[in-house]
Amino acid sequence: MDGRGSSGVLRGSERAPPPGSRTPGAPLGAEEIDVTVVLRRNPRAGSPLAPDLWKSLPRSERRPLSREEFARRYAADTEDLDAVRAFARSAGLRIGDESPARRIVHLVGPASALATAFGTTLDRYRDGATPFRGRSGPLHVPSALADRVIAVLGLDNRPQARTHFRVRPASAGSAPGYTPPEVAAAYSFPTDADGEGECVGFIELGGGFRPDDLSEYFRALRIPLPTVTPISVDGATNAPTGAPDGPDAEVELDLEVAGAIAPGASFAVYFAPNTDQGFVDAVSTAVHDTVRRPSVISISWGGPEPSWTAQARAAFETVLEDAAALGVTVFAAAGDAGADDGGPGTGLSVDFPASHPLVTGCGGTRLTIQNGAIEEEVVWNDLATGEGATGGGVSGTYARPSYQADADVPVGPNGFVGRGVPDVAGDADPRTGYAVRVDGQDTVIGGTSAVAPLWAALFAVLNQLLGAPIGFANPHLYADAGTGAFHDITSGGNGGYEAGPGWDACTGLGSPEGAILSNVLRGT
């Protein structure tokens, strides 16, 4: 880093060697790439989150900040931005997008220059059919940036997350599956609102939706077609692959489940590359979107906590703090691989970002509906047939939050007193899954990917009824645990934990009893 002063290791940037095979080919030096530099908040502004804010204030006094007000108070400091600009000039890089409100600066330049600037080596790798750039070890930043930079993302663009949906297996038979309105009715969702005036944001890291699929799906249900707006992040676009068992299924499952329950809401779909850079940039874009202004965000992608670098999780955390201060509720699927979140041999692990304390993690059940009512609901677990199970367990990274003080969360496998996952649940077993339409085909899909948009749609409806955003939901949900607002799931397990009365590491507090939850929230 000649000419830029002394340098040091960027805290949390250590990366394990890529799991794919190194591939020979043209050197990376001339390839132009874009990296995201995530900056701290203005150090003179303090934290936007007061301790236990939502628990200590009555609803009438809980006022989220507007995005404009937030930007005025908590945007990146001018001196920090100037330091990054000076660093870019000295390293032969140029400034791409720059967002003070999001505290993000994109640096663009040849791979060789960026690798030198951050003290690393980049090589080409391949994971199956997917080529990517990879690195190992830590990154370095000059002393002038050491206290200003939280993360540098994008040098390594290996795939970061996976979808959490499951197509119903052929062995399950040919029953048509439940429509989202049937599931909503079984869960007693309010019927006097449709989400009008609310915007739900969806994070998608691949695939796309076909407008014809949505038109046909909602026409068949006799439900108005919701307004859906795709937004490009880091160059990704709405790009259907034509494979109904690929990422298109994720995108269309999200939109069809939520749209059938809250058709009056508008939907903003943030498409980004499947990298840690793309994931963080997509959520940041959604949280700070001053045009669509989503009040709820649904995330159906994730990966085991240990697969994330500490710097990427730290970058995510700052965005999630922003969301809480802005009154944005974030739901995330808890995973579909059971308690190890990745298959045999990996040990017990939870899925991130569902494991973050500022996210409402969504687990899965097997729901049987008879004559419009719940006949039986148990933990979703098809591990015996290789068809997945709900994620859930105890975080090895995040300490147990205050809202889980009375939740009887077990000590984690490493002895850590961690945050329990999930918080809530809903129908996820593909054998009792959702009837949807993907790439011109009618199919039945489950997975915890379906639960995040189910809860997101419910909260769009509740926000409309309340006339204000619920915002960070977990303190409300745990405070309401004894009110009948949840169907307590007490039977089944996920390969590492067993369900029981009250909160458990399979289905959290349980599935929603929407009408009671609505009444409870209106009264708090």
Write the pLDDT tens digit of every residue in 222-235.
Answer: 999 999 999 999 99
- Interval 474-498 mean pLDDT: 95
Asked if residues 301 and 159 have their Cβ atoms less than 8 Å apart, the reply is no
DSSP secondary structure letters along 277-326: HHHHHHHHHHHT-TTT--SEEEE-EEEEGGGS-HHHHHHHHHHHHHHHHT
pLDDT (0 to 100) of residue 142: 95
pTM of the entire structure? Answer: 0.95
So what's the pLDDT on residue 120? 95
Q: Is the pLDDT of residue 401 over 90?
A: yes
Residue 54 is predicted with a pLDDT of 43
* pLDDT confidence tier of residue 454, bands split at 50, 70 and 90: very high
Average pLDDT over residues 133-144: 94
**Spatial distance between the Cα atoms of 319 and 286, rounded to a whole number of angstroms:** 10
Report pLDDT for 55. 46
State phi, psi for 449 to the nearest 5 degrees. Answer: -55, -30
Q: Which pLDDT score is estimated for 62?
A: 59
- Per-residue pLDDT for 7 more than 60? yes
Query: What percentage of the chain has pLDDT greater than the value 90?
Result: 84
* pLDDT recorded at residue 427: 98
pLDDT confidence tier of residue 173, bands split at 50, 70 and 90: confident
How far apart CA 15 and CA 275 sit, in angstroms, is 14
307-333 tens-digit pLDDT: 999 999 999 999 999 999 999 999 999
| 57: pLDDT strictly greater than 70 | no
Point out which residues pair with 105 in neighbouring strands.
37, 98
Lowest pLDDT segment from 103-107, 176-180, 504-508: 176-180
Task: Give dist(CA 381, CA 169) in Å, integer.
Answer: 14
Phi, psi of 485 (to 5 degrees): -80, -5
Region 372-380 average pLDDT: 97
**DSSP category for residue 238:** -
Alpha-carbon distance 187 to 450, whole Å? Answer: 14
Confidence of residue 414 (pLDDT cuts 50, 70, 90): confident
Total count of residues recorded for the chain: 524
- % of the chain residues with pLDDT over 70: 94
424 falls in which pLDDT band (50, 70, 90)?
very high
pLDDT score of 515: 95
| Per-residue pLDDT tens digits for 13-47 | 999 988 877 776 656 777 899 999 999 999 888 77
Q: What is the mean pLDDT of residues 434-462?
A: 97
Q: What is the mean pLDDT of the chain?
A: 93
Q: 178 in helix, strand or coil? A: strand
Helix, coil or strand: residue 34 = strand
Taking the CA atoms of the chain, what radius of gyration do you get in angstroms? Answer: 22
Distance between CA atoms of 431 and 424, rounded to whole angstroms? 20
d(CA 212, CA 430): 24
In this predicted model, which residue has the larger pLDDT, 345 or 331?
A: 331
pLDDT at 48: 80
Q: What is the residue extent of each domain of the chain?
A: 7-40+76-153, 162-523
Pick the CATH number of 162-523 from 3.40.50.300, 1.25.40.10, 3.40.50.200, 1.10.10.10: 3.40.50.200
So what's the pLDDT on residue 4? 45
**Mean pLDDT value of segment 65-84:** 95
Q: Once rounded to an integer, what is the mean pLDDT over residues 246-273?
A: 98
- ∠ Cα 482 487 491 (to 5°): 110
Catalytic positions are 250, 254, 449
State the residue for tokens 């709405």: 238
Is residue 491 pLDDT above 80, yes or no?
Answer: yes
pLDDT at 266 over 50: yes
Per residue in 202-220, pLDDT tens? 999 999 999 999 999 999 9
CA distances from 419 to 79, 165, 408, 494 (A): 36, 24, 11, 17
Task: Give which of 174, 133, 170, 182 is closest to 154, Cα–Cα.
Answer: 133
Question: Where does the pLDDT of residue 474 fall: very low under 50, low under 70, confident under 90, or very high at 90 and above?
Answer: very high
